[in-house]
Chain A
Amino acid sequence: MKNKKRYERPIIKQLNTGLMNKFGTRTEYMPVTHIDGVPVKKLIEDYGSPVFVLSERKIRENFKSAKRIFETRYPKVQFAWSYKTNYLNAVCNVYHQEGSWAEVVSIFEYKKAIQNGVSPNKILFNGPDKTNEDLILAIKNDSPIHIDHLDELYRLIELADEMHKKPRVAIRVNMDTGVYPMWDRFGFNYENGQAWDAINKIMASNKLNLIGLHCHIGTYMLAPYAYGVAANKMADLALGIKKRFNKSITYIDMGGGFASKNTLKGAAQIGADIVPEISQFAEAISTSLLNAGFETDDLPYLYLETGRALIDDAGFLLGSVISNKRLSDGRRAVIMDFGVNILFTSFWYNHKISPAQKFSHYTEDCVLYGPLCMNIDVVRENISLPPLQSGDRVVVHHVGAYNITQSMQFIALRPAVVMIDMEGTPHIIKSSETVDDVEKNERMPKHLESFKL
């Protein structure tokens, strides 16, 4: 019997006269059959579909590169890994091994960092919601506490008084950097004097040790100049503190926010083409700080809480096609086994998606749906893909940031997460969820235990 050819769903596509081309419209996509040398097919066979895959190599490369970029431009740099971006312990520990501290925004994240073994004085405690209990723990541990609002400031002064300990604090500053919307709901405003007011209160109390200034001007920022403006304003505060109180602050924390190479919905160009390089952000920040007028021996440390730009492209979601159908308006719809439940960022990104097997150069415009019984479950509203059939596999790119931490156990259980190590060996770093995992915290009142149908 002769060998049969690989089958592809028959397609006929009307050619747009303006772009007439007898070869049809060529897809820009290439099949992605391997991740760090491991076949996609094997990853799915071994760990199920869908499955998140992280590249340890890429994480380390990204980190080393960003560190080098900043350190060649500014002499005192310290990164702190933004736990919310991806707080799987294995991921955090890669960053900690690379020398990164921890940046947390809740007591939950704070405890995770402690359990990972980060020394508490290297955990930057951000966020608007710190209870007295949380603050007491952080004060005992000597963790830098980043004050978000006046209520927190007053509570800290009281606690410091009761505990006879001088907490190490920074204030979070918000400001106009020329980028809108302005993130002014967190911290104290620079322009209207709130920041100075907070600084004066801290210094007057004599109960708190003001060691730093913190800002986080936004996320997925595309404008390096905004960081230059922000760094200027932060430096101005630091120099003002020196002048007024003869106090040198230890660090200026510029937060996170550098855009990753994803494509925002509605963007005219794809992310990879318009997103600034980290070096552009580094240049803007270091130029501002170095030219601000600090004495050479009094230059503050530059802290960075970079999240998405360090991990987005190190994360992949592998999934499979469940089915495809034609919608009433004629569009082709492909139903995948992953949806917005585990790919939260598809609400704002047009994720790049590659088939994981060979295909011809024919493509179809289609809608990509997830498996949830919900109208909102749209992974891509419009994407040009080769004809996919049930069982075909795809790779979703740039999903390392904010998907695993924001994934929802809604309708379906959450999938396993695998990390491929430097030698190309995959390791499960989070098992797929089971019904027992989900029900662990449920309790059944006695009178509801049984029923007859």
Chain B
Amino acid sequence: MKIRNNVALSDSGFLFNPSSGDSYSLNETGLFIVHCLQNNKSEDEIIKEVTKEYMIEKGSFEKDFYDFKKLMESFNLID
């Protein structure tokens, strides 16, 4: 899973995709994950990072992560 490299991201969670002209907003957790993706973290690494940073069990997060990934895909933000 790799995020498109021309995607622009601001600290406040504003994401812009120049290929489509669409913009998105991310909440804190979403932003955290996108940062990880930009740093080429693998899915396992992201799960580890998130569960280290936030009060959440691995199992519960995986479900949300999967859903988030699907949305990113549907927005054509990841390859």
Residues of A participating in the B interface, judged by any CB pair closer than 8 Å: 4-15, 17, 20, 22-24, 326, 330, 360, 362, 387, 389-390
Q: How far is the CB of B48 from chain A (nearest CB, A)?
A: 13
- Pick from B27, B32, B75 the residue with the most CB of A within 10 Å: B27
Find chain B residues with CB under 8 A from A13 CB: 24-26
- Pick from A10, A14, A362 the residue with the most CB of B within 10 Å: A10
**A22 and B15 alpha carbons, distance in the complex (Å):** 9
Q: How far is the CB of B9 from chain A (nearest CB, A)?
A: 11
Listed A/B pairs (25) with beta-carbon separation below 8 Å: A4-B53, A4-B54, A5-B28, A7-B29, A10-B27, A10-B30, A10-B33, A10-B64, A10-B65, A10-B68, A12-B26, A12-B30, A12-B34, A12-B71, A14-B22, A14-B23, A14-B75, A15-B23, A17-B23, A22-B10, A22-B12, A22-B14, A22-B25, A24-B25, A362-B25
Residue interface bits B40-79, CB-to-A below 8 A is 1, else 0: 0000000000001111100011001101101110110100
Contact, CB under 8 Å: A15 / B28: no
Q: How far is the CB of A365 from chain B (nearest CB, A)?
A: 13
Find chain A residues with CB under 8 A from B14 CB: 22
Q: Which residue of A lies closest to B55 (CB)?
A: A4
Contact, CB under 8 Å: B54 / A12: no
Q: How far is the CB of B31 from chain A (nearest CB, A)?
A: 8
Contact, CB under 8 Å: A12 / B25: yes
Find chain A residues with CB under 8 A from B56 CB: 7
Find chain A residues with CB under 8 A from B25 CB: 12-13, 15, 22-24, 362
Contact, CB under 8 Å: B29 / A12: no
Beyond the given pairs A5-B28, A330-B74, 4 more chain A to chain B contacts, judged by CB atoms under 8 angstroms and listed by A's residue number, are: A11-B26, A14-B23, A22-B12, A22-B14
Find chain B residues with CB under 8 A from A11 CB: 26-27, 29-30, 68
Find chain B residues with CB under 8 A from A17 CB: 23
Residues of B participating in the A interface, judged by any CB pair closer than 8 Å: 10, 12-15, 22-30, 32-34, 52-56, 60-61, 64-65, 67-68, 70-72, 74-75, 77
A4-B55, A389-B60 given; A362·B12 CB < 8 A: no
Contact, CB under 8 Å: A7 / B55: yes
Find chain A residues with CB under 8 A from B23 CB: 14-15, 17, 20
A12-B75, A389-B60 given; A6·B27 CB < 8 A: no
Contact, CB under 8 Å: B28 / A326: no
**A11 and B55 alpha carbons, distance in the complex (Å):** 17
Contact, CB under 8 Å: B54 / A360: no
Contact, CB under 8 Å: B72 / A12: yes
Contact, CB under 8 Å: B54 / A14: no
Contact, CB under 8 Å: A9 / B55: no
Contact, CB under 8 Å: A8 / B75: no
Q: Which residue of A lies closest to B25 (CB)?
A: A24
- Pick from B15, B28, B52, B70 the residue with the most CB of A within 10 Å: B28
- Pick from B25, B52, B53, B65 the residue with the most CB of A within 10 Å: B25
Q: Which residue of A lies closest to B69 (CB)?
A: A10
Q: How far is the CB of B3 from chain A (nearest CB, A)?
A: 11
Q: How far is the CB of A386 from chain B (nearest CB, A)?
A: 9
Contact, CB under 8 Å: A12 / B55: no
**A362 is contacted by which of B27, B52, B60 (Cβ under 8 Å)?**
B27
**B24 is contacted by which of A10, A15, A330 (Cβ under 8 Å)?**
A15
Contact, CB under 8 Å: A326 / B67: yes
Find chain A residues with CB under 8 A from B26 CB: 10-13
Q: How far is the CB of B6 from chain A (nearest CB, A)?
A: 17
Q: How far is the CB of A410 from chain B (nearest CB, A)?
A: 30
Q: Which residue of B lies closest to A4 (CB)?
A: B55
**A6 and B29 alpha carbons, distance in the complex (Å):** 10
- Pick from B26, B65, B77 the residue with the most CB of A within 10 Å: B26
Find chain A residues with CB under 8 A from B27 CB: 8, 10-11, 24, 360, 362, 387
Q: Which residue of B lies closest to A364 (CB)?
A: B27
**A12 is contacted by which of B10, B15, B60 (Cβ under 8 Å)?**
B15
Contact, CB under 8 Å: B67 / A12: no
**A20 and B52 alpha carbons, distance in the complex (Å):** 33
**A23 and B26 alpha carbons, distance in the complex (Å):** 9
Q: How far is the CB of B34 from chain A (nearest CB, A)?
A: 8
Find chain B residues with CB under 8 A from A12 CB: 15, 24-26, 30, 34, 68, 71-72, 75, 77
A8-B27, A12-B25, A14-B75 given; A23·B65 CB < 8 A: no
Find chain B residues with CB under 8 A from A10 CB: 26-27, 29-30, 32-33, 64-65, 68
Contact, CB under 8 Å: A14 / B64: no
